[in-house]
Structure 1
Amino acid sequence: MWAYLCNSASGMSGFPIWVQLIPQIMFAVQVGQDKGNQITKQHLRNFYKVFSGKEGADLDALAENGYNTMTANGDYILDLANYELLFANFLLGKTIYGPGKYIFGCFDNSDLQRKYEIIHEVE
């Protein structure tokens, strides 16, 4: 089904409307009662704690790395427009190394402790 949905998608606007609504809902959940226009590091940390069940140093490292990756070390704010780009990266990305992997915070985070692996094509 995802292959069918992603066939011509190159961003969120290429998905059906029900898929386009998911990042908007997720964004609203993460900013919570603040009703702000951006996700802060604390918002992200709270979301990871509840959604992924991480705690302590693991939670702090995940929130720090996730926020830094999603905001280019704080150079960009994590507003809805940027969040939608990250969500599209999550859906369309082919490796675990894209910034979209931090949307939910519960997927393979082994790269926090080890270096990136170079993918070699074997002929």
Structure 2
Amino acid sequence: MNEKESFFINQLKSIGFAFKGVVCLLKTETNIKIQIAISVFVTAMGFYFNISNIEWMLQFLVIGLVMGMEGINTAIEKMADFIHPEKHSKIGLIKDIAAGAVFITSLSAIIIGLIIYIPKIIKLF
């Protein structure tokens, strides 16, 4: 096998591992399921209100950021539990900080959603 084939095969394997991680996240994490439901709802709103290309980009950017951050948070929590299965104040703090990062990202997404949709909802009345 030459180097190009090896690189291509390694990339395909990496995509497979990433896909496996997404499936695991979807199967095990309630928060990601809630975020998907919210994402479907705001995507439907985007079609209903015919949002602009820039608004679509911002909307999908924050959806991706929140879900990506949730994945990182889940990985940190699972690693922390693996390293130190018993309750420990420093492990708890690490997990709280990771959850806080998801919270900050989610707040930003909510603010962006409000900026996009409040003017459009007001125009309905």
- Which TM-score applies when normalising by structure 2? 0.24
Q: Which has the higher contact order (CA 8 A, sep 6+)?
A: 2
- Which TM-score applies when normalising by structure 1? 0.25
Q: Which has the higher helix share?
A: 2
Structure of higher CA gyration radius: 2
